[in-house]
Chain A
Amino acid sequence: MAMTSTLTSTERQIGMALSILLVCLGLVMAGVAKQGPMMVHGGMAVALGLVLVFVLGGALYDQPEPSPERLTQYDDAPIRFGIVMTLIWAVAGMAAGVWLAALMYWPEATPPWPATSYGRLRPVHTSGVIFGFGGNALIATSLYVLQRTSRARLADALSPWFVLIGFNLFCVWAATGYVMGQTQSKEYAEPEWYADLWLVLVWVTYFALYIRTLARRAEPHIYVANWYYMAFILVVAMLHIVNNLAIPVTWGAGESFTIWSGVQDAMIQWWYGHNAVAFFLTAGFLGMLYYFLPVRAERPIWSYRLSILSFWGIVFFYMWAGSHHLHYTALPYWVQTLGMTFSVMLLVPSWASAGNAIATLNGAWHKVRDDATLRFMFVAAVFYGLSTFEGSFLAIRPVNSLSHYTDWTVGHVHSGTLGWVAMIVFGAIYSLVPKLWGREDMAWPRAVEWHFWLAVTGTLIYVVSLWNAGITQGLMWRAYDEGGALSYSFIESVEAMLPYYAARTLGGGLFLAGALLCALNCRATMCAAGDRVDVSDRPLVAQPAE
């Protein structure tokens, strides 16, 4: 198997030992829990561990030792795995989203089983796209960018596999846990304590791998993309640990109590929630943008100084902005003012990034016109600018009094996630898949063009319909008659949403169709893999023997 062909016998043996440990962990989990999601998850760990034991054991006996030449090449096998997982999660997560959007229009279609209820499927969509799709894309591209911009092979051969397989085990635990009714009731942090602890292990390994590889770099300076990827890894670790501090009911229960209470709990949750947007959905993807856009456009980054301003601005200001999720609540006014003002100051560093990316295209606009892959990245930068403007605007307290709790928020999030995050991922995927599978181009180059227009049309329909929906809701909820009575009942505001919910389902459907086309296109490309060596990869500097 390609997975194991670059591992030495020693590495295969260590891998087998780790897999056996995973089987033991699964057995302990299942044995202690005896029932419920935690037992099922233990069973999954056992199954995964056994598969890995057989794969590695087979390789140990059947496969020859890898050639020492591999150390002069970049380690791309785990990256290929990460890209495949990205595509699988994209289709699964976005399909869940379209299904849920359809249910909002047509709630009677909800199947009668608890496992298929809206409340259980909603986090399957959010975790599926954010962590499954976004997370795999971030890990895979970060390892690619890290090696190319450092001219160093990954520090060891096993950690990237541990990180990617472990992360996907976490994602599967999360999604299946939700379906079985397991949740911590913290938005974007729903998985229970044992899954959270597992993720800490994975994430620390990821950070260590990144730092160790960076320390071996042959380039004198660290490229901007790596600053962003490192900020993403480091801050997500901090957010994840603090927000998920909890005390399990018993060691055998997949349930826990958070150690935070009252308004502090709300504040910690939205400090986490907003910085998940900042460091998971922004910083890492800016790293992706900073690498793939200039490479594809074959242009230098427009301004080094602007890069510095945006990096430190984004990293510093985002940390303070979370409280704008709690305007007009029990959170003290002063915390709200801080969140509001720091959100406004965040705008300029954000736009500096978007502007820097767009200005980088100066001298390459003909490529933007002709190359759908580069156009994905251009549109991503534009939507990044649009959504960060909208974000700062919505954080202003009086504006928020209209928009809060409405679908405007959902529209804003999707302008960021569809227009910015997913577009840059697709741009990166179309750049990477031919390179990683040894080909000149995608198998179906014209399908990329189709995907582009499906994605842009879908995003615009989705976002515009939910702007309308949210503003309509906000205005209806706050309208009073001359006699001081509410002008609309709540149910009337729900009925008013029907056309917008239909339109958002259509928009989401178009976007999903594009993602599906992308997955099929990638599959066709992978099936027709060649042995072309990417000429843009500079030769590695010889590494000391391990």
Chain B
Amino acid sequence: MTTDPKTLPGADPHTGNREIDPVTGYDTTGHDWGGIRELNTPFPKVALIALVLTFAYSLVAWVLLPTWPLGRDYTRGILGLDQQEMAEEQLRALTALRADWLARFEDPDFGALADDDALMAVAMPAADRLYRDNCAACHGGDGGGGPGYPVLRDEHWLWGGAPPDIALTLQVGINAEHPETRLAQMPAFDWMERGERLALSDYVASLPSGAADPDSPGVPLFAENCVACHGDGGAGGLLNGAPSLTDAATIYGQDVQRIMETLWQGRQGHMPQWSDRLDKAEINALALYVARMSAEEGGE
């Protein structure tokens, strides 16, 4: 039995026994910073095991996967994975899933396609996503349009509402960069006298009600200046980009104020060509979807 405190178990060989913490039973390291002390608690085994496990995970990953740079090359990993190839592979698999039904839209007979219920059950939900991701931002989630953007769910069309017409509009756009884009412009009538413009605006604003005054001074002005594009009585439907004026949902609004504005400055809308972004089959599926949107609304 030794009586030297410096040789007791847990004793500091320089200073002798250190203070024992009554709660944990461990001694302290002997350091003291303004009252803060540290226990000499041994390294917990569970931390060591956890450390080994995370290291093991990493070692396995390093062996399997590309990891360490070697100058101009890197360790490839025994799985031989390449993220570019993996992404392409996944893309191919998804494209293959779509290929079955999407191929049918390549050269469409829209009538026959629309009659195939099984095909529609797959294609129309897909076209709905296409619509929401590409069209809804301007034309509205329900095709209801908005100021500057035509309504798609009614029966009035600028360039025709049959699926092939819609498909072509999607393909080339309106006033877009496509060489065959559809072109349309509402010229400015700023040369017209203000009184005449007011009379014309009053008349056009009353068209949707169906109770336009046949003796209005706007009638001859309308016949001279507007009918050529907007059709008799403003019925539209001439497939030249000019909207029907008998429809309260006219693109830029049909109150007197808005019509005055349109007459004064003219209008030229823009719809991008989608041929850069969507392939032909997708455009055809979308055209059928939009045509059906309008037909469903008309049937209600």
Where the two chains meet, the residues of A that have a C-beta atom closer than 8 Å to any C-beta of B are 148-149, 151, 219-221, 223, 291, 294-295, 298-307, 309, 328, 332-334, 336-338, 340-342, 344-345, 347-348, 351-352, 355, 359, 362-363, 480-492, 536-538
Contacts and interface: CB of A to CB of B under 8 A. Distances in A.
B21 interface: yes
A483 B129 contact: no
A377 to B, nearest CB: 14
30 contacts: A223-B33, A223-B36, A291-B36, A295-B36, A300-B38, A300-B39, A302-B24, A303-B38, A304-B31, A306-B43, A306-B44, A307-B38, A309-B43, A332-B66, A333-B83, A334-B66, A334-B68, A338-B67, A341-B58, A342-B58, A345-B55, A345-B58, A347-B54, A481-B122, A482-B97, A483-B100, A484-B94, A486-B129, A489-B133, A491-B133
Contacts of B125: 481, 483, 485
Contacts of A488: 129
A220 B30 CA distance: 11
B33 A333 contact: no
B210 to A, nearest CB: 35
A487 B43 CA distance: 52
Given A333-B66, A341-B62, A300 B36 contact: yes
A215 to B, nearest CB: 16
A307 B28 CA distance: 14
Given A219-B33, A486-B133, 18 more contacts: A299-B23, A302-B39, A302-B41, A303-B41, A305-B40, A309-B43, A334-B65, A337-B77, A338-B67, A348-B51, A480-B97, A482-B122, A484-B94, A484-B97, A487-B129, A489-B128, A491-B141, A536-B34
Interface string B9-40: 00000000000010110001101111111111
Given A341-B58, A344-B57, A362-B23, A151 B101 contact: no
Nearest to B134: A489
B35 A483 contact: no
A491 B57 contact: no
Contacts of A223: 31, 33, 36
B132 interface: yes
Contacts of A359: 41
Interface string B128-169: 110111001100010000000000000000000000000000
A356 B129 CA distance: 52
A306 B141 contact: no
Interface of B: 21, 23-24, 28-29, 31-44, 47, 50-51, 54-55, 57-58, 61-62, 65-69, 74-75, 77, 81-83, 87, 94-101, 122-123, 125-126, 128-129, 131-133, 136-137, 141
B52 to A, nearest CB: 9
Contacts of B54: 344-345, 347-348
A363 B38 contact: no
A351 B39 contact: no
Contacts of A342: 58
Nearest to A313: B51
B43 A303 contact: yes
Contact of B43 (A305, A341, A480, A492): A305
Shortest Cβ-Cβ A-B pairs, 4 listed: A484-B97, A485-B126, A489-B132, A363-B23
Given A295-B35, A332-B74, A337 B96 contact: no
Contact of B40 (A304, A328, A351): A304
B141 to A, nearest CB: 7
A485 B82 CA distance: 25
B29 A334 contact: no
A362 B24 contact: yes
A209 B50 CA distance: 39
Contacts of A300: 21, 28, 36-39
Contacts of A302: 24, 39, 41
Nearest to B21: A300
A334 B69 contact: yes
Contacts of A338: 67-68
Contacts of B66: 332-334, 337
Contacts of B128: 489
B86 to A, nearest CB: 9
Contacts of B47: 306, 309, 348, 351-352, 355
B254 to A, nearest CB: 25
A303 B37 CA distance: 10
B29 A304 contact: yes
B57 A341 contact: yes
Contacts of A305: 40-43
A352 B45 CA distance: 12
B44 A337 contact: no
A219 B51 CA distance: 33
Nearest to A299: B23
A303 B96 CA distance: 59
A492 B100 CA distance: 26
Contacts of B100: 483
B237 to A, nearest CB: 31
Pick from A223, A342, A485 the residue with the most CB of B within 10 Å: A485
Nearest to A221: B31
Contact of B97 (A149, A151, A291, A483): A483
A538 to B, nearest CB: 5
Contact of B67 (A219, A291, A337, A482): A337
Nearest to A349: B51
A485 B95 contact: no
Nearest to A328: B83
Contacts of A536: 34-35
B66 to A, nearest CB: 4
A351 B50 contact: yes
A148 B96 CA distance: 69
A347 B141 CA distance: 45
Contacts of B43: 303, 305-306, 309
A491 B136 contact: yes
